[in-house]
Structure 1
């Protein structure tokens, strides 16, 4: 029995690592590198802080909508809850990208979040959550999203003006 438990646990680590890599790198390159970078370059606001916040919100919304594709694996309710959480996560990842002017930080954060969640709960969200009421799961998703957004806002605090990413993209 012990070796079976060790085998399952090492398989879970490999699964978590694989999901972290598969999601972290391409999704960050697409949503922070391309989408957010393009929004920051092309949205026209006189106020630099407004341009950054609006760009982050749009990129986060697109990141959330992208996860609607998971509906083929999980039910609508699970995917809806995931989309709420991924909006918050996208906000955090976008603020990290803007704050540090590097795609590496959001990649590492995204990998860490996906690795940890997969390690703890596996890849399926629908079976684990079917025992709880939708209202409780919705509150949980909103709390997780709010947590990510608050951390993101703290990352941005005092870094909207004279932002290094804006200078790096040569947008002034």
Structure 2
């Protein structure tokens, strides 16, 4: 978060969202290097990847084509590169750091009766708080909406990672979600209206849905298929 504030306010102020796509790419690239470097120096948390099944890729391709069709209908073809970039880079970087390193480290190191639940809660809350860095370029209401969405997403992304033992599954879901939700916006456009209870209805509904899906992901199916991450970690 400190690096994000430094980059947005001093290194590249006023250019982060639009037309600052280069700034975004540089910022996220530096973030990846920072995450990997700090993990290597201080934590040494192993991150688990595996390829997805062919059928999964086919389903994802269909979903992405549908999302692309909706974005083209609303904004035109020229909007797609921005939408893809704004979904792909955060989806990769945030999952690498928050699920791969943070959630993985919590799952492997926390002990006690509620260790698993605590890992979910702590990592999701940290993921939501991470979005406070956006206050450097967006208004408070927009950031609060992002934090609500991130909190629910934090539970779901962690559930996908834990069940599959494959960070790629969390990354592709994160990309798919951001591709349509962020992509429906426009570069450099931020909500400026005053916050009202109605403003938060949609994010709260999404939050509840994501938490319910996360619970289903962790509870449905055979016991040996519910926590492949723990098996890989030797828990």
Q: 1:67 aligns with which of 116, 131, 156?
A: 131
TM-score, length basis structure 2? 0.63
Q: 2:111 aligns with which of 38, 41, 44?
A: 44
Residue 25 to residue 74, structure 1, CA distance change in 2 (3 Å): same
Question: Is it true that 1:105 corresponds to 2:169 in the alignment?
Answer: yes
Task: Deviation per CA, 1:12-43: give whole Å up to 9, x if none.
Answer: 11111101111011110100000000000111
Structure 2: which 5+ residue stretches go unaligned? 1-71
Post-superposition offset of 1:121:
2.5
Residue in 2 aligned with 1:81? 145
Post-superposition offset of 1:160:
9.9
**SS of equivalent to 2:214:** helix
**SS of equivalent to 2:234:** coil
Larger relative helix fraction:
1
Structure 1: which 5+ residue stretches go unaligned? none
Tell me the number of residue pairs that the alignment of Structure 1 and Structure 2 aligns: 161
Question: Is it true that 1:164 corresponds to 2:231 in the alignment?
Answer: no
Task: Deviation per CA, 1:32-66: give whole Å up to 9, x if none.
Answer: 00000000011111x4xx32221011111111100
Residue 99 to residue 159, structure 1, CA distance change in 2 (3 Å): farther
Which sits farther off after the overlay, 104-113 or 10-19?
Answer: 10-19
Residue 133 to residue 77, structure 1, CA distance change in 2 (3 Å): closer
Greater relative CO (CA pairs within 8 A, separation 6+): 1
RMSD: 2.3
TM-score, length basis structure 1? 0.84
1:19–1:115 CA contact under 8 A, matched in 2: yes
Residue 140 to residue 120, structure 1, CA distance change in 2 (3 Å): same
